[in-house]
Amino acid sequence: MEQPVREPAAPPPSLLFLDKVLAGPCRRPPRGVELFNLNLIGGLARRGHRVTALVHPDWSDPIRRAAGDCPVNLVGPDSAGGKNLPRGWMIRAASRQRADILLLANVANRLLPVLLWLRLIRAARHCVLIAHREPSRRSLRAQKAWPSTVVAVNRVIAGRYRRAGFDRVSVYYGVTDADRFFPAPARTGGEVVNFCVAGDLDNTWKGSDTAVSAFGRLAPEVREGCRLHLASFRRPPEFDDPRIVGYRWMEASEMPDFFRRMDVMLVPSRDRGVMMETFSQVMVQGMLSGLPVIAGRLPVLEEKLDRGGGLVFDDVPGLAAAMTRLAGDPALRREMGRAGRKTALARYVWDTGLFSEKYLRQH
């Protein structure tokens, strides 16, 4: 019997990748959203997408390492010093590019002239935006010039786009290297309880000072059996209490082992009039590592704990009370750690293949 002829699969759409961070100098080893974008470009290239990216020369080697043997077309000047790529240069360089989809890696007011110019010359037929932060009014107006799909990293940001009239809005985000984060073997009990705060703690809104204040409020007999680990700073502050440890800057590769030495994760981030913490990759990494989480009452943090992965606090006394509760209850720590890991695996593991199929190949 004659077999039906199968049509060859359509090639993945070509992509023009635009990101405000990659248009500026790389001042430190990549972490957070920077590392996510490197892994995203590499993952898309491995899946056959022809990726063109406008980049500062500092990022060329990290991108090529992320892509491995897969080709990525990097468009950038031979040198740019310590300055961002000039918008005029980016507009001229972008004018020579064409792709099926413009992949905009974040909301970026300083790239709006480039975004509008690319639409004017029809450099791509569709724009897919990964929205890591809330948009300004200018950003919303510029984005509306495009046929757009918005992939927001949390529900609050997604709601802002929906209220502005965008109809293709989804919530999807996660860590790209989830398999590196897993729980340590169970302890036998009786050891010191290790609390940790992780992230770029030179940013005051990360709230390391809140954690230090709460640790100081613990009853002496509780505090004696606890340690507070703050990872990490470019210049670690000194602490009078030897049970508080500040770490010099830690590479992303060091974090999985660090989390496996901890017992409880604190996420005391706070907003400053605008949303500062839009996802918290370190919180998800801690959850994947089986750590119970004590988080500040921010919507983006609370939504990750709705299945029992930890506790939420409102102020310093509330954080101290939550720390005291978990310090004295190893069974509750284990129960919350298991619940948090289950939530993280179900919701917050990034799959570039799924992203490609659902958001890129549909246009």
pLDDT of residue 340: 98
pLDDT of residue 11: 87
Q: Classify domain 15-174+349-360 at the CATH class level.
A: alpha beta
Q: Could you give the CA distance from residue 189 to residue 265 in angstroms, rounded to a whole number?
A: 18
For residues 332 and 23, the answer to whether their CB atoms sit within 8 Å is: no
The CA angle 291-293-298, to the nearest 5 degrees, is 150
Taking the domain 179-347, which CATH number applies?
Answer: 3.40.50.2000
Mean pLDDT of each 10-residue bin along the chain, 363 residues long: 55 95 85 90 96 94 94 90 89 93 94 95 96 95 96 96 97 95 79 95 96 98 97 94 96 94 97 90 97 97 96 98 97 97 97 96 80
Whether 15-174+349-360 and 179-347 share one fold: the answer is yes
pLDDT of residue 6: 53
The two three-digit tokens of residue 356, written as one number: 């490609």
Per DSSP, the chain holds a count of helices (H) and strands (E) of: 14, 13
Is residue 151 within a helix (H) or strand (E), and if so which, with residue range? strand 148-152
Write down the domain spans for the chain: 15-174+349-360, 179-347
Q: Report phi then psi at 162, rounded to 5.
A: -65, -45
Q: Could you give the CA distance from residue 182 to residue 68 in angstroms, rounded to a whole number?
A: 26
pTM (2 d.p.) = 0.90
